[in-house]
Homo-oligomer: A and B are copies of this chain.
Amino acid sequence: MMVSKQELEARLENFKKVSRQYKLPLTPQKLAIFRILAGSCSHPGVQELYKQVKEDFPNISLATVYKNLKKFVDLGVITEIPVPGESPRYDAKLDTHSHAVDTASGRVYDLEVSAALPLPNKVLGKSVKQAQVIYYL
């Protein structure tokens, strides 16, 4: 499955907007990393992103990928998906949804949170910033 052109554009716009908001320079490397993530449904990890962005920026450093992913998470423009027994994967889809982890293949799928599965917005007296429902298949 592919991300639609409109959705991709929306994600890129949001990324740029937030970057401006925090007065962070928009470098070609950042844009490339974000674009790959935003255009993918496969929830790549660091190594995979590094390999892909290398096609456009052969000299890019792995450290740059690490630094930027961390920054993106801080900025809230991407989400880190922890996968048991593996290194984390990343997702540029921002609306609340769940993930299904196929334990056989290691693949991670997006799932819509069904209306039948309402998430509380307060837990332990604190407000829920984010919720992840992960299904292991």
B109 and A124 contacting across the interface, CB-CB below 8 Å: yes
Number of copies: 2
In the complex, A81→B111 CA distance in Å? 20
Give the nearest-CB partner of A117 in chain B.
B117
Given A109-B124, A118-B117, A123-B111: A103 and B85 interface contact (C-beta under 8 Å): no
In the complex, A103→B130 CA distance in Å? 10
Report the count of interface residues on A (CB-CB < 8 A).
Answer: 33
Least CB distance from A71 to B in Å reads 13
Give the nearest-CB partner of A111 in chain B.
B123
Give the nearest-CB partner of A103 in chain B.
B129
1/0 contact string of A105-137 vs chain B (CB within 8 Å) = 000010100101111100110111111111111
Cβ contacts A to B, 5 pairs, < 8 Å:
A73-B85, A81-B84, A111-B123, A117-B118, A123-B135
Closest 8 CB pairs of A and B: A82-B82, A80-B84, A126-B137, A130-B136, A132-B134, A129-B136, A133-B133, A131-B135
